[in-house]
Structure 1
Amino acid sequence: MVFDPFYDKTDAEIRREALTNAKKAKIKQVVGGKCEIPGCRAKAYDIHHIVPVSKGGRNIGSNLIALCANHHRDAHDGKITQARLKEIVKKRNKKVKQQITNILRDRKKVTEVKGGLSASGGYLKVDLPKVELPTFSDPFSTSSRTSRRKRSSSTKKGGSAKTKTKSKAKKTTSKKTKKRTSTRRKKDDFWSIF
């Protein structure tokens, strides 16, 4: 068992990660969905490592057996010996052995490195930090036009803090409206060519 200072897990823990839940489910299905202990008809609860991963056991067909919850507990308690479990696995028919080997052969090597890099299945995966991009408002959007219209309409109603004579207010408002309308037409004409 080797401890990697850059990764908080031992080699054994990393090797165990390679046996995914999906692969465990496929193995259970291949053995008929039942506990592999002869005479037991209970549903297979888990895939048990005959030689524990912590003691150098690997994720290979000859080290894996589907067990019900009771027999799984018995295997961990030592009531069922490793020799007995290995004997049961050796008696599997060739087709089942080959199917389990095929399921496990598809296993990806788990060589993750803390800091964002991992090599898996021949590819290098790099986790880049998320970068937030600034957002810019669209000068041609309709929402900015509406807010301008609201401001100009409140000016027309006399809602501004500055007091002007009615004639000056009307002249400046009409000039702004004409200028805004002509600018809008130019923008619309520009975008219409696309």
Structure 2
Amino acid sequence: MAKAAANTPSPKARAQVPHTLGFGVPATSDPHHFRVTIPKANSSKVQISEHLGLQAASSESSVIDRVLLDRPRWTSMRAEVQRAFNAQLATHGLKPGAWKVGDNPVDRLLGKELCVLAWAVEQMEMEKIPVAVRNWMALRPEERWWLFGMTAMSTGGVMDGGKGWRAALKHALGDVAQSELLSPRARRGKPGQEAGQTSLGLFGDEAP
């Protein structure tokens, strides 16, 4: 019993763990986050949308629909994405998440990473998706954020599939193991340079 008690977090330690929803979304008033909506019907598409929260200029522009995924494509990537996200959450001492039917809140930086993979596989041949998932996992989080930023500037809407950077992501992640070709310049620059933020949105007010 003494050993079990020693392994039980103290009330003070438990109080210091931030309360989050889904995959690392702060339980605060209208935070900037992403939402993965999984319908009950297996034939329905999965929607990924960005909710700007209090950062939105107006209520009309507060939600950006980023991508719709056919259910088989979502199913082929969801388990690996969940494991990757929970590994990141664990490093910050946050509780893990799990995909469920309905709305799934996702931290704003993890949501950017998810969009990069979703954009890559939305029109990809099914047999290539495992390769794309492996290539996506080989990228560092800040590299995924960079790719999101480049893609979202011109082809980040739900109707932009197959265009510009969306097409580039499909070929770069799905054709061969060539993730290095889309890495930020910082990766090939001076040692110690970082391409972007290095923590989840819960821990600061970094620019999106």
* Pair in the same fold by TM > 0.5: no
Largest Rg, 1 or 2: 1
TM normalised by structure 1 equals 0.24
Point out which structure has higher relative CO (alpha carbons under 8 A, 6+ apart): 2
TM normalised by structure 2 equals 0.23
Structure richer in strand, relative to its length: 2
